[in-house]
Every structure is written in structure tokens, then in C-alpha cells.
Amino acid sequence: MDMIHSVSKNVLDPLEERIIHALQIEGRASWSELAPVIGVDAVTLARRFESLKERGLAWTTGIFPGGASALIDITCHPQQISDVARHLARIPEVLTLDHTSGGRDLLATMHADNPLSIWNIVTNSIGILDGVRNTQTHLVTEIIMEASDWRMRALSPQDAAKVPRPRPPRARAPRAVHPDVEAALRHCLTEDGRRTVSRIAAEHGLSEQRVADGLARMRADGMLRIRTDVARTVTGWPVYAWYFMRTAAKHIQQMPGLMARIPEARTALAVASQYNLVVAVWLREMSDVMRFEAALEAAVPSARIVDRSVVFRMSKHLGRLIDEQGAATMGFVHP
């Protein structure tokens, strides 16, 4: 039986860490499937994850690859940074918004249909905001490492291997996903990656079989990924920093293997701008910022860190509005 759960809003206990780690491996695994892996009954697991969501400490999102992505540096008049951030957070194509030190006041991650769409939004929606002094766009040319690859490391390797993977499409499932089914999945799963097939079907007037088939097909074909995130402030890695680098093009191809061996690394992107590599990391202490720089430059001899920014706070993450304590709120901006 689960004992009375009375921890602080901003603290994770070992069971919650195990739940999050399991869902980072397979975000739509059922509680009955996870019960023997985590060692707690399904009812308790469901209740604990619901508590995590209510406290804004963990959430699951459907990611639909494709289109174009970019990082946008935004500098503002100091007294208007907060106002600019509030406007930016309401732009659907702005997925993530960080308040940073260094050569930018705000760093936005954007996703749109194509590079021209990004340019139009930066020019006509962001650049014209009152308080914006300048913008600079770093177009993503390759995703070397995604933040969804990061793990809590609360499960042993043996237990992690027991977490069930997504089921493949059934033999009779259609090869193509109908646009109505895809639209329903996009609408529902971007807000809640664990939303049930039955609820998606009911909300959009579709049969459960069509939704289940579409979901399985899109995941199998790489058109949909389920990602579980956790509030950085409760992970033990409270320092969040971005590094903007130049390195030899030949070393860009070696970065996936390198990043996989660096536990602090969250995101690595090849970009087209005055930099060609941008890396985001979570660190345990502020003093680790310089230590990480030295380690990264030693691992990639041609790498030169041109700029860096420490994140003071995040105000949006994958469509969710984030409060000043780093927790997800009930606010969500649909793409």
C-alpha cells in the first residue's frame, strides 16, 4: 500500500523519480505494465503521476517531427523584457522560451512548416513587438541530440530494459493515416501525450480502432514521438546553460556519440549562422559552467565556444506555460 504522500511541491521522492524514468522510456506505457517494473500497484502509480502533473513537475507531450526549426536570439529594452516574453509565449510556433544571460535576453525555440515561415514570424510577429531591439535566427540544420533522450537514471539498467516498448501496428492496420485521424492525434497529444485512445476518439467523433491504428502507425513510421519531461528545479541539475560554438564540419558528424557520453548534455543542434553547433546542458552547480566548457573543448579539439548563456528561468516549454519556480502551469498554447 502507498503511504500518505505529503512531500513538498518542489521535491521528488524515489518512487516519483522511478515513474518519470519509466515514462521517459515509454510515455504511453500503461500503469499495469509498469507496476511489476517499478514494484508498486497500478492504482498508486496513476495517483502519483496525477500528483506530479498537478504540481507541474512532470508532463508528457506528443512530438511531431518535420518542418523547420530555429533558435531565435532576442534582445530587448531592459524594462520591457517581461512584456515581450508574455507576447512571445502566446505565439504558437514559439515552443520554448528561456530568459537568459549573455548576448541575448530571451532565447526562443521555434518550429514551423518551413524556413520561410520562420522568417515571416520572426520578421512580422516578433521583430515588431514593442520592446524588441534585435533578433537573430539560428536555423537548425540537424538535430544531433534531443532533450527527450535525457533520463532521470532512477531505474537500474535491468529495470529500464523491462519497460515495454510501443506496440507495432496490427497486421490489418492501414498503411496511411487519414488526415482526420492525424489532426485529432496532433491536437490531443501535443497537450497530453498519455491521452487515451477512447478519449481522443470520443472528442473527435472517430472510432477507437482508427485512432489506435493511426497512433501505432505514426509512431512506427517516426511521425510521432512521446516525450516525458520533468521540471529542472527538482532534478538535482538546477543550472541550465546554452553554449554557442564553432567547430570543424567533420567533427559535427562525431557529435552524436560524444553527446551520448555526457550526462549533463540535453540538446545538441547543428545550426546555420555565425555558429555551427549549439549545445544545451543541465549542470549541478554554477561553477560547473567553466568545467563543462573545458571538458567539451578537450573532447572536440576543433571546438571553440564563442558565446554562452545561463538560463535564469523558462517561461514556456513545448507549448506549456511555466511559472517562476519552473513548474508547468495549466496554461497551454496550441500550435
What is the SS3 string spanning 287-311? CHHHHHHHHHHHHCCCCEEEEEEEE
Cα torsion 64, 68, 71, 75: sign:
negative
- Give, as one character, the DSSP assignment of residue 317: E
Q: Tens-digit pLDDT profile for the chain (335 aa)?
A: 343 343 446 789 999 999 999 999 999 999 999 999 999 999 999 999 999 999 999 999 999 998 999 999 999 999 999 999 999 999 999 999 999 998 899 999 999 999 999 999 999 999 999 999 999 999 999 998 888 878 888 999 999 999 999 999 999 999 999 999 999 999 999 999 999 999 999 999 999 999 999 999 999 999 999 999 999 889 888 899 999 999 988 888 777 777 777 778 889 999 999 999 999 998 988 888 888 888 777 777 788 899 999 999 999 999 999 999 889 998 788 77
From the centroid of its chain, how far is CA 1? 33
Domain layout of the chain by residue ranges: 14-55+153-229, 68-149+235-332
Helix ranges (DSSP H) in 176-320: 179-189, 197-204, 208-220, 249-252, 255-260, 288-299
| CA 109 – CA 174 distance, rounded (Å) | 34
pLDDT score, position 299: 75
Question: Torsion over CA of 89, 94, 96 and 101, rounded to 10 degrees?
Answer: -80
pLDDT score, position 334: 76
Helix H or strand E encompassing 160: helix 157-162
pLDDT score, position 92: 95
Contact 97, 89 (CB under 8 A): yes
Going by their DSSP bridges, the two strands 277-283 and 225-230 should be labelled as unpaired
* Cβ-proximal residues to 212 (8 Å cutoff; 6+ apart), any chain: 197
Where does 68-149+235-332 sit in CATH, by number? Answer: 3.30.70.3460
Which of 242, 223, 229, 266 minimizes the C-alpha distance to 108?
Answer: 242
pLDDT score, position 117: 97
Helix H or strand E encompassing 33: helix 31-38
Please tell me whether residue 172 adopts helix, strand or coil conformation.
coil
